[in-house]
Amino acid sequence: MVAIPGKAKPTLWVRAGKFLREVRAELRKVVWPNRKELVTYTIVVLVTVIIVAVFIGVVDLVVSELLALLGRIGR
């Protein structure tokens, strides 16, 4: 925001009101998914989370076992 000489800066309430009006205008532009798309997207997210969790769990198990093996060898 550029300060214009002789013009007062808008108050916090004026700026907050403008912000909320702009947010509302932007939300009206959003294309919301229908029920079928929402279910499909939810399933995709859940499957992806499960796959990543299993991958991280396997990597954690392998690294833990390697560190335990190195610990036994070092004694």
pLDDT at 4: 66
Q: Dihedral sign, CA of 44, 45, 50, 52? A: positive
pLDDT at 2: 60
- How far is the first Cα of the chain from the last one, in angstroms, to the nearest whole number? 66
For the chain, which residues score pLDDT lower than 70?
Answer: 1-6
pLDDT at 74: 76
pLDDT at 1: 55
